[in-house]
Chains A and B, each alone.
Chain A
């Protein structure tokens, strides 16, 4: 029994495919709305070698840019805000407010600012991701263990040394929480933007176009591609975290 344990995650997948097949073949669901798994899978394989593959790469590009811009702005800013509790408290409401504002509500504003194109999509996504990362970095710095800061101080570390040698590293686990949430949010915003803001490519465009043309297998294929991308990005950050923040949670 023990040897089978690594295969447990597969059970859910098989279950899902089984329910899907039964639903289609029993005639319970209209096969036009829900094609059999095989049709969707074939469309995925075929698509990834062609148009869908190109759309996939475009979405990855946009998401990576958005996350990168967000991280470059939010990490240093978060450290500054976090190292001064007063400064953070005075900006906390503004950050929390915009963090709670659905980023999609910002589309019209960014359209006015940047016009129709990649700039708008990437900047809205970066905006959303930035606030999430900023919030987490600042909290990571603020919640640095007091004993650890005191230990560095008692050994004669200057304020700047404490910031770089202790606070920065102390905040890394929380920073990665922010990065993972940030990249997920950026992907959501990018995909929505690709659907509705005059886009010629991207996974969002692919899903939307397939639906408009009623090419259901292609639509499901695009949805799975989006899912795989989201899962993959999260996994990537987890692996980076495990490599560089080996002490996280220990």
Chain B
């Protein structure tokens, strides 16, 4: 816990994060000594981070700083050069997690109906057919989603497809959920709708969630904490807490605390951009 603290630059006057796990909870994910290079470029060099349990963390930073690389490494999509990522002291292979891709069109299986797409991770886990059906139906009921799951992905709108994609990630009841710019391929109307869906879902499940976003307003609006990264080699530029009550609405966007937090994040971001 102190590691995060030590890495954080002197907090600005905005009420930034309390120490992670301050309530006596252990952090959910501990990242230690993470290093990654792509050719000559050092993206991460001995990077440390603690991700608190049951919170929604937005990751924001300059273009190409390695936002997606970070969650891809945590989720095991790309290998680390060095370092260690532990989930409650366990390895990735020992836990259940969900991952949502930016490109839903290429992440879903077009030969399966939406229902079978959602049930696919259960099938991989060896869950029987009737049990799969029961679990998907339970998830649908819990999320209150109104979708015709007999459709094929290509018969659905972009937002619906991404919703199916998120449900596929949630069906295994993951301990942690990763989303890589999940709404950036959607039009604005659908993006707003999907933000609400994600928030509802988070309130409902309280699953530790790591969301990469390229939209600062979205990052703050959805987050309990915003992880601001520097240009590569990426450091934690700030790990800003935002306590706005949920469910957050349009009113939240003009709430002084929200505005202040967002302004602070922007300031840190611009400082990091100029540093180059």
Contact = CB atoms under 8 A, between A and B. Distances in A.
Interface in A174-225: none
B62 interface: no
Nearest to B96: A156
Contacts of B87: none
A247 interface: yes
A162 to B, nearest CB: 10
A38 B125 CA distance: 67
Contacts of B193: none
A243 to B, nearest CB: 13
B101 A155 contact: no
A250 B111 CA distance: 11
A148 B120 contact: no
B106 A166 contact: no
Contact of B75 (A154, A166, A172): A154
B106 A156 contact: no
A3 interface: no
B10 interface: no
B154 A150 contact: no
A169 to B, nearest CB: 5
A155 B110 contact: no
B77 interface: yes
A164 B168 CA distance: 19
Interface in B109-130: 109-111, 120-121, 124-125
Interface in B124-154: 124-125, 152, 154
A242 interface: no
A165 B124 CA distance: 10
Interface string A142-156: 000111101101111
A157 to B, nearest CB: 6
B107 interface: yes
Given A154-B99, A246-B152, A250-B154, A147 B107 contact: yes
A247 B103 contact: no
Contacts of B152: 246-247
Interface in B65-115: 75-77, 99, 101, 103, 106-111
B153 to A, nearest CB: 8
A141 to B, nearest CB: 15
B106 A147 contact: yes
Contacts of B99: 151, 154-155
A46 interface: no
A166 B124 contact: no
A148 B124 contact: no
A6 to B, nearest CB: 25
Interface string B164-182: 0000100000000000000
Given A155-B121, A156-B124, A156-B125, A247 B101 contact: no
Nearest to A157: B124
Given A147-B101, A148-B106, A155 B124 contact: yes
A148 to B, nearest CB: 6
A247 B111 contact: yes
Contact of B110 (A151, A154, A161, A250): A250
B109 A154 contact: no
Contact of B101 (A151, A157, A161): A151
Contact of A154 (B76, B103, B108, B154): B76
A155 B120 contact: yes
Given A150-B77, A154-B76, A161 B154 contact: no
8 closest pairs, A vs B, by CB? Answer: A247-B110, A250-B154, A147-B106, A155-B121, A145-B106, A151-B107, A154-B99, A169-B111
Given A151-B99, A151-B107, A155-B168, 12 more contacts: A145-B106, A147-B101, A150-B101, A154-B75, A154-B77, A155-B120, A156-B121, A165-B120, A172-B111, A245-B111, A246-B152, A247-B110
11 contacts: A146-B106, A150-B101, A154-B75, A154-B76, A154-B77, A154-B99, A155-B120, A156-B125, A157-B124, A161-B124, A247-B110
